[in-house]
Structure 1
Amino acid sequence: MIAEKIHAIWSRELDLDEFSDTDDFFSIGGHSLIMTKIQLAIVTELGIEVPMDQLFRKSTVKEISEHIETALSAA
């Protein structure tokens, strides 16, 4: 469920219809300004703040989703 929401956010912000959850954000056209929009969308839509450094380190939908799921289960 989290991965589907993150995928939808990326799709909207990157203006891409098709990409894999294991595709690297920067390899599919992402850059820091788009990442800022994604960070805000995650807070707005999922209610969890993912620090920018984590978004850059975990640069796939799969990795960010796992990070969020771990954070939610620890809370």
Structure 2
Amino acid sequence: MDQLARKSLEESMCALFAECLDIDTVSVTDDFFDVGGHSLLAAEVVTRINVELEVDLRLRDFFRNPTVAEVCELIAEQEGVVRGERS
């Protein structure tokens, strides 16, 4: 994933997190749970990410990686596997 695509993905994820949390903004380093998230909202976010981006993010991975930056890294890793860039 190139830097421009990564930046765009991070912006989209910040907007998605903020929308689900019903707050104005979320930074790439904000912990989802520290800014008001809980398990039901986490499930909603993961479902929306999976549907909108056609990825397979798991809820347990989201709990272990609850920032936009970490979620974007997980998505980039999945895209690398899909494209055959990783073995």
Identity %: 35
The TM-score with structure 1 as length reference comes to: 0.92
The TM-score with structure 2 as length reference comes to: 0.80
Q: What is the RMSD of the two structures over their aligned residues, measured on CA atoms? A: 1.0
Q: Which residue of 2 aligns with 1:22?
A: 29
Q: CA deviation at 1:19?
A: 2.5
**Greater relative contact order, per chain length (Cα 8 Å cut-off, separation 6+):** 1
Gap regions ≥5 residues in structure 1: none
User: What are the equivalent positions in structure 2 for 1:28-67 lying under 5 Å apart?
Assistant: 28-67=35-74
Gap regions ≥5 residues in structure 2: 1-7, 83-87
Instruction: List structure 1 runs of 4+ shifted beyond 4 angstroms.
Output: none
Q: CA deviation at 1:48?
A: 0.7
- Tell me which structure has the larger Cα radius of gyration: 2
